[in-house]
Amino acid sequence: MSTPAPKPEPKLITKLKKRKATHRKKGRLYRAAFVVAGVTLVLAGAAMLLLPGPAFVVIPIGLALLALEFTWAEKLLDRSLVEADKAKRKAQATTRNQRILTGIAVACGVGAFVALAILYDIPLLPVV
């Protein structure tokens, strides 16, 4: 049996591994600031999963900062980048009919919201 070829590593992970060597030579205060910033960004991104905001951009940035210090963050970032790449390929592989049906479903959802807003007198803008 032949062993499967190793998966190519995302470019970001390769860059992080190079940066990690120089990062380790910095002072403790500098490195602690990276950890605090990374944790803050990951927590803010987690909050953005429920609140409006670019969670899927902020969380990987926080993980990238934490990956400079922690191996677990590097592994999690690597796995999330691989999964994001899979999702991108899957989205690109959609057929024309799937895209059209998605557009129709979104239009129906928006239409239903507008109809309900008019029917039940729901204010679309906050009234002061």
Does residue 3 lie within any of the structural domains?
no
User: Do 59 and 37 reside in the same domain of the chain?
Assistant: yes
- At what angle are helices 11-23 and 71-92 packed, to 10 degrees? 160
User: Do 83 and 112 reside in the same domain of the chain?
Assistant: no
Question: 58 pLDDT band (50/70/90 cuts)?
Answer: very high
User: Do 43 and 101 reside in the same domain of the chain?
Assistant: no
User: Do 87 and 99 reside in the same domain of the chain?
Assistant: no
Does residue 42 lie within any of the structural domains?
yes
pLDDT at site 82: 87
**Residue 49, both tokens:** 């999963």
DSSP helix/strand/coil, 21: helix
Range(s) of the domain holding residue 124: 94-128
User: Do 48 and 19 reside in the same domain of the chain?
Assistant: yes
> For tokens 């803050």, what's the residue?
40
B/e letters for 91-127, b = 16+ CB within 10 Å, e = fewer, are eeeeeeeeeeeeeeeeeeeeeeeeeeeeeeeeeeeee
User: Do 100 and 125 reside in the same domain of the chain?
Assistant: yes
Of 2-11, 32-41, 45-54, 113-122, the poorest mean pLDDT is in: 2-11
Residue 61 CA from chain centroid, whole number = 9
pLDDT mean across residues, the chain: 87
For residue 17, pLDDT beyond 60: yes
The answer to whether 78 and 13 are in contact (CB under 8 A) is: yes
